[in-house]
């Protein structure tokens, strides 16, 4: 009896390993091995795709004095601190709207999430089309209502703003969807009780809705920050980092170094910096969070 049970459990663990193997092999070969390799390359001076030469921390030292790197870091951080709160606030606002008494809510919800189905490249090209400063519809609209046209492409700040606006258009639907799911899990009796106690609409939003969608906010915060740190498609296609690095972010700069100028060691070092930034943020967020964790 015992031996057959032991045999069964041994068979079970063998099956377990066999079942997780395909996934783990793929992850190991195509994620973990390259990750270790990236660390190694970041300590090397590379020339094209030949073997590198170890130069210690030189690539990292170079980061410290590279103005384009700092510009890209500042842009990445600025992008993150704007996109994250704004897309979350808009997402929550629209979710509350769509969770209220409204005709054709299903239709409205479908419209809000359509951008989620569109590729980053297509989104960015639609952005280029709309924001083109010579033929774009947006400047034509601005002029037609008596406002001055904006140089969305040649002006640094305007180009950055156009990237932000396109990103928000693309991402708000996702934030809305997560919040809508969170809102629909809230027990309505809480609102009834608050109303009986004389809480105003704003107070109910501020002291009931906002805390009750806390888990969704927590999740979205992490996801939006991680997305923003890694933003690539929209920037790369819309502006390519220009004009004069005004919209350059860490990932586009790393791509330029790795695959345009062929300075792969330096590109790997920028990647490591990005990874460190992501880890640091995640750690701080896990540490300070009092909400439940994502895994269990």
Partner 1 sequence: MSAPSRSAGSTRSTAHREIPGSDAAHPRSSRRPSRVGYVARLVLAIVISAVILFPLYWMVVVALSSRADLLGGDLRLWPRSFTLDNFERVLSSFPVATWFGNSVAISLVVALISVTVSLLAGYAFAQLRFRGSSWLFLLALSTLMLPVQVIMVPLFRLVSEAHLYGTYWAVILPTAASAFGVFLSRQFILAIPRDLIDAARIDGAGQLQVFTKIVLPLSKPLIAVLFFMSLLQTWNDFAWPLIALKQNELFTLPIGLLYLQGQFGSDYGGTMAFALLNVGPMVVLFLVFQRYFVQGFARSGIR
Write out the binding residues for partner 1, residues 113-152 only, by CB under 8 A. 113-122, 125-130, 132, 135, 137, 140-141, 143-144
* Residue 88 contacts residue 182 (beta carbons within 8 Å): no
# residues near partner 1 by CB under 8 A: 112
Is residue 30 a contact residue for partner 1 (CB under 8 A)?
yes
Is residue 24 a contact residue for partner 1 (CB under 8 A)?
yes
Alpha-carbon gap, residue 41 to 224, rounded angstroms: 29
Note the helical H segments in the chain: 2-27, 33-41, 58-64, 67-98, 105-113, 120-131, 137-144, 156-184, 188-196, 201-204, 210-212, 214-229, 233-238, 250-255, 264-288
* Residue 278 contacts residue 226 (beta carbons within 8 Å): yes
CB of 99 to partner 1, least distance (A): 5
Residue 159: count of CB within 10 angstroms of its CB: 25
**Closer of 74 and 294 to partner 1 (Cβ):** 294
Please give the residues from 85 up to 104 whose contact with partner 1 meets the rule CB under 8 A. 94, 96-104
Which of 154, 203, 261, 282 is close enough to bind partner 1 by CB under 8 A? Answer: 282
Structure tokens at 53: 């030469």
Structure tokens at 35: 């990750």
Which of 4, 23, 65, 288 is close enough to bind partner 1 by CB under 8 A? Answer: 23
CB of 74 to partner 1, least distance (A): 18
Please give the residues from 159 up to 218 whose contact with partner 1 meets the rule CB under 8 A. 169, 173-174, 177-178, 180-182, 184-185, 188, 191-192, 195, 201, 204, 215-216
């Amino acid at each position: 009896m015992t031996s057959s049970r032991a045999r069964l459990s041994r068979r079970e663990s063998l099956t377990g390993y066999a079942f997780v193997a395909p996934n783990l092999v793929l992850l190991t070969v195509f994620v973990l091995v390259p990750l270790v390799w990236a660390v190694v390359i970041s300590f090397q001076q590379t020339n094209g795709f030949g073997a590198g030469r170890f130069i210690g921390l030189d690539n990292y030292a170079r980061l410290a004095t590279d103005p384009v790197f700092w510009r890209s870091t500042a842009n990445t951080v600025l992008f993150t601190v704007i996109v994250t709160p704004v897309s979350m606030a808009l997402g929550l606002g629209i979710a509350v709207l769509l969770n209220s008494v409204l005709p054709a809510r299903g239709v409205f919800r479908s419209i809000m999430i359509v951008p989620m189905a569109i590729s980053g490249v297509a989104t960015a090209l639609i952005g280029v089309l709309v924001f083109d400063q010579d033929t774009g519809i947006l400047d034509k609209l601005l002029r037609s209502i008596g406002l001055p046209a904006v140089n969305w492409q040649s002006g640094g700040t305007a180009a950055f703003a156009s990237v932000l606006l396109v990103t928000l258009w693309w991402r708000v639907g996702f934030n809305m969807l997560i919040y809508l799911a969170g809102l629909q899990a809230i027990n309505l009796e809480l609102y009834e009780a608050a109303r009986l106690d004389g809480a105003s609409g704003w107070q109910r939003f501020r002291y009931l809705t906002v805390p009750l969608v806390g888990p969704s906010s927590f999740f979205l915060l992490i996801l939006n920050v991680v997305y923003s740190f890694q933003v690539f498609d929209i920037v790369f296609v819309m502006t390519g980092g220009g004009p004069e690095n005004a919209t350059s972010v860490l990932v586009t700069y790393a791509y330029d170094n790795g695959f345009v100028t062929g300075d792969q060691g330096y590109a790997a070092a920028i990647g490591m910096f990005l990874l460190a930034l992501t880890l640091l943020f995640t750690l701080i967020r896990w540490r300070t969070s009092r909400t439940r964790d994502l895994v269990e």
